[in-house]
Structure 1
Amino acid sequence: MKADSTIKQTGQQRPYQEVGTLLRNLIAQQQYAVGDRLPPEREIAERLNVSRTVVREALIMLEIEGLVDVRRGAGIFVTDMPAEPSDAAPAAVTSDSAAGPFELLQARQLLESNIAEFAAQQATRDDIIKMRRALQIEEQELVSDDHESGDMQFHLAIAEATHNSMLVDLFRQSWQWRENNPMWTQLHSHLKDTHYRQQWLTDHQQILAALIKKDAKAAKQAMWQHLENVKNRLLEFSDVDDINFDGYLFTSWPLNHLNS
């Protein structure tokens, strides 16, 4: 794999799009053929001096294009040839919702942990009742293996408990970006079971317990940890070379900082 040692962000593309464009062009230039195995994620990341989650997002982009197949435990294989080298990102990921899934999750973690902190100070009895109902829906959906509407309703109820319409709008927008993001959908396609939803329910119960006590610090920490757990679960399924990979998009805010 011949490439510049460092990806420099141009401002026109996100980092994962630049990496994806480079990999697509390498395939188009026939350095790789259909059926060939690409280098491991770790090797690509080291050669391009980018994080492995950026590489993973680039591979998701190429999966959406139908150019590669990411097989957990086996590797990354070329499945089709692009028409010709190009510097453009595919149309599927050039919309306003083109942020990578881990970038979206990072934004949610920063936003919703602070929303939970404020909600703990503002929540009314009716707000708590609404959160409890959302958890009941989540429990029912977990048993029936149905949709995950309770998840969204719980997070929305917390935002609404701030009684700040701008925070509610920000939450709704971030969730809508997630729902409309093809990168997020493609990443979730690698989740082969729904066992992770039990952990999300447990996380939600801990968040609710802190909100009921009006413990702002605990609510913030519980929400941060919940979305940290989501990130770790998705990263667990994001690597195809090392089942013990536990890399991060960014250095997580140590939870003990919240207790100081």
Structure 2
Amino acid sequence: MAVTDDAILRIKEMIVSGQVRPGDRLPPEKELGERLGVSRSSLREAVKALEVIRVLDVRRGDGTYVTSLEPRLLLEAMNFVVDLHTDQSVLEIFAVRRMLEPAATGMAATRLTDEQLTHLESLLGAADADGPIEALVAHDLAFHQAIVEGTGNEYLSRLVEAMQSGTQRARVWRGLTQHRAAERTIAEHRAILDALQRRDAELASALALAHIAGIEHWLREASEIAP
């Protein structure tokens, strides 16, 4: 396994140093193995590992390519890990969101375009407190994601997206069991959007913090997990 790890690091160094760039094809297996000083079997294991985390793209009959290395691809593995959550890990995810999203919301207040604000307004206008809870959850996910995308930071956007997918069941549970959760969620979203429209970064950040912390507090009580 140590030899495979070394092969992974050497391929990484090739990418980081610019010897191969996103979209480039790696040298043929025999040539690459000799270049890295590893056996074909170790090289194949390294390539498989890097393919799983979307660093490499193995095209049968064509060759092995470096992917675009976009955050969307590189953070896909996190989606899978986060979805395998327990009650405790959901709370840890919310703790991370509580640190990241208020800062992102404040940043978005000064960066959102008029078109993005209009999109947020349309999302909020389509939310129905009396509709199916699944529709409210979809609105909640889209609303938060649209705000973070407004920062223009692709890594932050994909990271928050991955964490939100892992909390979807918790949101449904909350909506099904907590009285007037739908009305409260929409009202809190409205307050956040109003602050964003006024370009008030400090207020938008504070409202986002209260919104996420409120869900986290409820989940702690419902799960009977001590802080």
Q: So what's the TM-score if we normalise by structure 2?
A: 0.56
Equivalent position of 1:200 in the other structure: 185
Matched, 1:110 2:99: yes
Deviations 1:99-132 (A, max 9, x none): 6221111111111111101000101111111111
Distance, in Å, in 2 between the alignment partners of 1:166 and 1:160 is: 10
Q: CA deviation at 1:200?
A: 1.2
Instruction: State, as a whole percentage, how many aligned pairs show the same letter.
Output: 22
Equivalent position of 1:232 in the other structure: 217
Equivalent position of 1:158 in the other structure: 147
Matched, 1:149 2:142: no
Q: Which has the higher helix share?
A: 2
Q: CA deviation at 1:194?
A: 5.6
Q: CA deviation at 1:172?
A: 1.3
Q: CA deviation at 1:137?
A: 2.4
Residue 163 of structure 1: SS of its match in structure 2? coil
Long gaps (5+) in structure 2: 1-79
8 Å CA contact 1:113–1:223 kept in 2: the answer is yes
Residues 1:209 and 1:102: Cα distance change in structure 2 (over 3 Å): same
Letter in 2 for 1:159: V
Letter in 2 for 1:160: E
Distance, in Å, in 2 between the alignment partners of 1:117 and 1:225 is: 13
Q: Greater shift after overlay, 189-198 or 220-229?
A: 189-198
Q: Considering only CA atoms, is the larger Rg found in Structure 1 or Structure 2?
A: 2
Letter in 2 for 1:158: I
Letter in 2 for 1:213: R
Residue 81 of structure 2: SS of its match in structure 1? coil
Q: So what's the TM-score if we normalise by structure 1?
A: 0.49
Deviations 1:132-165 (A, max 9, x none): 1111222x2x222342211111101101111222
Alignment of 1:1-260 (within 5 A): 96-97=81-82, 98=85, 100-138=89-127, 140=128, 142-147=129-134, 148-179=137-168, 184=170, 188=173, 191-193=176-178, 195-239=180-224, 249=227
Distance, in Å, in 2 between the alignment partners of 1:133 and 1:248 is: 38
CA RMSD after TM alignment: 2.6
Name the count of aligned residue pairs. 142
